[in-house]
Amino acid sequence: MSPGPGLRWLDALGPQKIRPGLARTRALLAALGNPQASFRTLLVGGTNGKGSTAAAAASILEAAGLRVGLTTSPHLVRVNERVRLCGRDVSDAQLDSALRLVAALSGEDGLRPTYFEALVVAACELFRRTRVSVGVVEVGIGGRLDATNVLDPEVSVVTNVAEDHLETLGPSLSDVAREKAGIFRRGQPALTAAAGEGLAVLRVEAGRTGARLLEIPPSRAWDDVSPLAGAHQRANLALAVAAARAFAPLDDATVRRGIAAIRWHGRLQTVPRPGLRPLLVDGAHNPAGAAALANHLDAAGLSGRIDLIFGVLGDKAFGEMFAPLAARARHVVLVAPASPRAIPPDALAARLGQPELPRAASLADALAGLEGRGGDAPILVAGSLVLAGEALALVEPREP
């Protein structure tokens, strides 16, 4: 079935450069009658883990019986993943209908949104139509000038602060932290698991804006029920639990039921392949994410046993991402994610200073080449969420 006019319009917006600013999103929401006023909002930002935290908080609130809407980015396989209504990905028909309305209100000049902005506005409209009581919204990039910051969150979360998107948010880590603190609201709780320089800036910004900053330590309390792999998820789950409890009184049994039901793909996800080596798929799309993945490989006894397929986008600190992963791999193959921003494998090998590194024309070719290398450890696919999505689409075909 071909996509409807709303989805075709969304695709026509195309991959665009980041256009910080709130005016387009605010104007479109106003033209729709401000659907964002129909639900309570949990706004989740941070450098890494914000999607995991948002998905966990939504799952916990659903376990408590609330009607919950969730919007995240980017999608891995299908755009429908970006909007979840009461625990289910939005249907093509629902999403197309909302996007047709957004398109009708959009102009070619000042009101023409970016791809991301169009989906934020459509998500708010879909939340209103579905009568959700809480909208859990993941920030796109930064916070202060991100389209999601037009919302009025009762609770804001900044998971952590690390160096990523410095060309937009930087140049320094302190600059990044200030941008992320832009989602804080006077008199409202702001939760974080940040540390070091980033935390120091968040404290200053909370004091300046009048937000109530709550520093949430990681917790092992949910290790036995969480489907999210990696020690770094303890911080994300602790934030999700604290945020969810700000919206509803939750006993531990409800929290455990919600955590056990979390569905969040492409983050340390093991994908079995009958008769073939399993895949370990992880975005690991910045140095902090690669470090967390490397720590997981050590803890899981996989260092020195996995083979690595690595691909990256051109605006990333690819050297710092590649080094800890390659150091733990038997063999490495470079590929290009399916994005115009991807670094071609030949150029990546040269820029890494390792022109001898093997390259493949596609992810499928890379997998086929490594399959013959033997071993029972997983093949690791990492470096980009785009590449993670390709891997999942290749081995887990999903019905439209």
| pLDDT tens, residue by residue, 5-58 | 999 999 999 876 678 899 999 999 999 999 999 999 999 999 999 999 999 999
Instruction: Answer yes or no: is pLDDT of 399 > 50.
Output: no
Cα(275)–Cα(272) distance, integer angstroms: 9
Q: What is the pLDDT of residue 141?
A: 92
Task: Match 């063999």 to its residue by tokens.
Answer: 331
Domains of the chain: 5-14+21-260 (3.40.1190.10), 269-395 (3.90.190.20)
Cα(99)–Cα(121) distance, integer angstroms: 9
Do 117 and 23 form a contact (C-beta atoms < 8 A)?
no
Cα(93)–Cα(170) distance, integer angstroms: 40
Q: What is the pLDDT of residue 16?
A: 67
Mean pLDDT of 172-198: 97
Q: What is the pLDDT of residue 376?
A: 85
Cα(153)–Cα(39) distance, integer angstroms: 10
Q: What is the CA radius of gyration of the chain?
A: 21
Q: What is the pLDDT of residue 395?
A: 84
Task: Match 């804001």 to its residue by tokens.
Answer: 156
Q: How confident is the model at residue 1 (pLDDT cuts 50, 70, 90)?
A: low
Residue 353: strand pairing partners: none
3-class DSSP string for the chain: CCCCHHHHHHHHHCCCCCCCCCHHHHHHHHHCCCHHHHCEEEEEECCCCHHHHHHHHHHHHHHCCCCEEEECCCCCCCHHHHEEECCEECCHHHHHHHHHHHHHHCCCCCCCCCHHHHHHHHHHHHHHHHCCCEEEEECCCCCCCCHHHHCCCCEEEECCCCCCCHHHHCCCHHHHHHHHHHHCCCCCEEEECCCHHHHHHHHHHHHHHCCEEEECCCCCCCCCCCCCCCCCHHHHHHHHHHHHHCCCCCCHHHHHHHHHCCCCCCCCEEEEECCEEEEEECCCCCHHHHHHHHHHHHHCCCCCCEEEEECCECCCCHHHHHHHHHCCEEEEEECCCCCCCECCHHHHHHHCCCCCCCECCCHHHHHHHHHCCCCCCCEEEECCHHHHHHHHHHHCCCCC
Q: What is the pLDDT of residue 397?
A: 58
pLDDT in tens, 283-313: 999 999 999 999 999 999 999 999 999 999 9
Mean pLDDT of 117-127: 98
The percent of residues above 70 in pLDDT, for the chain, comes to 97
Whether omega for the bond prior to residue 171 falls within 30 degrees of 0, making it cis, is yes
pLDDT in tens, 208-255: 999 999 999 999 999 999 999 999 999 999 999 999 999 999 999 999
pLDDT in tens, 329-339: 999 999 999 99
Task: Match 């319009």 to its residue by tokens.
Answer: 9
Q: How confident is the model at residue 72 (pLDDT cuts 50, 70, 90)?
A: very high
Average pLDDT over the chain, rounded to an integer:
94
The CB-side HSE value for 62 (13 A sphere, CA atoms) comes to 23
Residue 215: strand pairing partners: 192
Mean pLDDT of 71-97: 97
Instruction: Answer yes or no: is pLDDT of 158 > 80.
Output: yes
pTM exceeds 0.85, yes or no: yes
Instruction: Answer yes or no: is pLDDT of 4 > 60.
Output: yes
Q: What is the pLDDT of residue 400?
A: 34
Instruction: Answer yes or no: is pLDDT of 398 > 60.
Output: no
The set of residues, in sequence order, having a beta carbon less than 8 Å from that of 133 and lying 6+ positions away, is 39, 40, 66, 67, 68
Cα(44)–Cα(151) distance, integer angstroms: 12
Instruction: Answer yes or no: is pLDDT of 109 > 70.
Output: no
Instruction: Answer yes or no: is pLDDT of 170 > 90.
Output: no
